């Protein structure tokens, strides 16, 4: 299930946001919505999950 995780460091005054469970354009759309609310990030990194679609199981129902 897609989610957005916020890691807040109160000692340093920083917030790290991680978008999980989205790939490609869906991730870009979620990031754009967050930027509209939170402003532009200081840094942005695309993880492996962004580039790789989840594996799809195929089931053969022919008898």
DSSP assigned state of 37: H
- For residue range 4-51, what is the model confidence (pLDDT) as tens digits? 999 999 999 988 889 898 888 888 999 999 999 988 888 888 888 888
For residue 42, give its domain range. Answer: 3-51
pTM for the structure as a whole: 0.64
Instruction: Flag whether 43 is in a domain.
Output: yes
Number of domains in the chain: 1
Instruction: Flag whether 30 is in a domain.
Output: yes
pLDDT band at residue 55 under the 50/70/90 scheme: low
Instruction: Flag whether 61 is in a domain.
Output: no
CA distance 34 to 28: 10
CA distance 62 to 1: 31
Instruction: Flag whether 59 is in a domain.
Output: no
Q: Is the pLDDT of residue 52 over 80?
A: no
Instruction: Flag whether 56 is in a domain.
Output: no
Instruction: Flag whether 40 is in a domain.
Output: yes
Instruction: Flag whether 24 is in a domain.
Output: yes
Q: Could you tell me if 30 and 20 are in contact, meaning their C-beta atoms sit under 8 angstroms apart?
A: no
Instruction: Flag whether 33 is in a domain.
Output: yes
- Residue 58 is predicted with a pLDDT of 52
Q: Could you tell me if 51 and 23 are in contact, meaning their C-beta atoms sit under 8 angstroms apart?
A: yes
């Amino acid at each position: 299930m897609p989610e957005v995780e916020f890691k807040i460091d109160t000692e340093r005054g920083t917030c790290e946001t991680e978008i999980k469970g989205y790939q490609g354009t869906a991730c870009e759309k979620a990031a754009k919505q967050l930027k509209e609310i939170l402003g532009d990030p200081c840094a942005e990194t695309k993880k492996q999950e962004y580039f790789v679609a989840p594996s799809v199981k195929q089931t053969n129902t022919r008898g």
